[in-house]
């Protein structure tokens, strides 16, 4: 038997394939820089901005309200006072409205862009220790675990109350009114 030559199929694209344009390589989407409406002039990596405690009233055995450290302030808010110029501060300010004898501060009264060094924490803790010794607070309300853990070490015998940080409400969209009412009661009680 004679061999019959076999035609090889040509590898021409089909009509369907010819209609589809070749897939272009996907370009990664350009990420737009995030604009923080709560920031003044953003510091460079490692820069430290110092904040001052805020006092309300005459400070005879005041109630201390202590947070971790200041967050970025809104544009245009350059008070550099603890618990002012950001959303967490707004909630605390609303709770203390009409009250006096209050000392608002942080474990670290420094805003640091980037990683916070142990030196910055130590400096803040030492300043808080001096403030507690100077003012002898009637009680200390700590906003969050970080503040609570550091204050407990500094002031183990005084009244220390652990409270949720206001950023918890903001982050998880919890109702603000019950929080403000509870904080006001803790301050008064």
Give the tens place of pLDDT for each residue, 165-186: 999 999 999 999 999 999 999 9
Domain definitions of the chain by residue range: 48-188
Indicate whether 132 pLDDT > 90: yes
Q: 27-56 burial, b if ≥16 CB within 10 A, otherwise e?
A: eeeeeeeeeeeebbeeeeeeeebebebbbb
What is the mean predicted confidence (pLDDT) over 123-128? 93
* Predicted confidence (pLDDT) per residue in 36-63, tens digit: 444 445 556 666 778 889 999 888 899 9
Instruction: Pick the closest to residue 65 from 140, 9, 173, 115 (CA basis).
Output: 140
Task: Residues 48-188: name the CATH superfamily.
Answer: Uracil-DNA glycosylase-like domain (3.40.470.10)
Tell me how far CA of residue 184 lies from CA of 95, 99, 142, 159, 189, in angstroms: 5, 9, 14, 16, 8
Give the mean pLDDT of 59-70: 92
pLDDT at 102 over 70: yes
- Residue closest to 90 by CA, chosen among 180, 25, 12: 180
HSE of 92, CA atoms in CB hemisphere, 13 A: 31
pLDDT category of residue 79 using cuts at 50, 70 and 90? confident
């Amino acid at each position: 038997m004679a061999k019959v030559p076999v035609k090889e199929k040509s590898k021409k694209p089909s009509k369907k394939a010819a209609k589809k344009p070749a897939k272009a390589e996907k370009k990664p989407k350009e990420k737009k820089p995030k604009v923080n409406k709560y920031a003044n002039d953003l510091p460079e990596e490692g820069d430290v901005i110092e904040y001052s405690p805020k006092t309300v009233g005459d400070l005879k055995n005041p109630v201390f309200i202590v947070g971790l450290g200041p967050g970025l302030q809104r544009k245009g808010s350059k008070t550099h006072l603890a618990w002012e110029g950001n959303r967490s501060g707004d909630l605390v300010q609303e709770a203390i409205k009409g009250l006096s004898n209050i000392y608002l501060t942080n474990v670290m009264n420094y805003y640091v862009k980037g990683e916070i060094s142990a030196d910055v924490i130590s400096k803040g803790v030492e300043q808080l220790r001096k403030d507690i010794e100077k003012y002898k607070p009637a009680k200390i309300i700590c906003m969050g675990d970080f503040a609570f853990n550091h204050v407990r070490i500094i002031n183990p015998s005084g009244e220390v109350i652990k409270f949720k940080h206001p950023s918890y409400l903001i982050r998880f969209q919890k109702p603000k009114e019950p929080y403000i009412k509870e904080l006001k009661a803790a301050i008064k009680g």
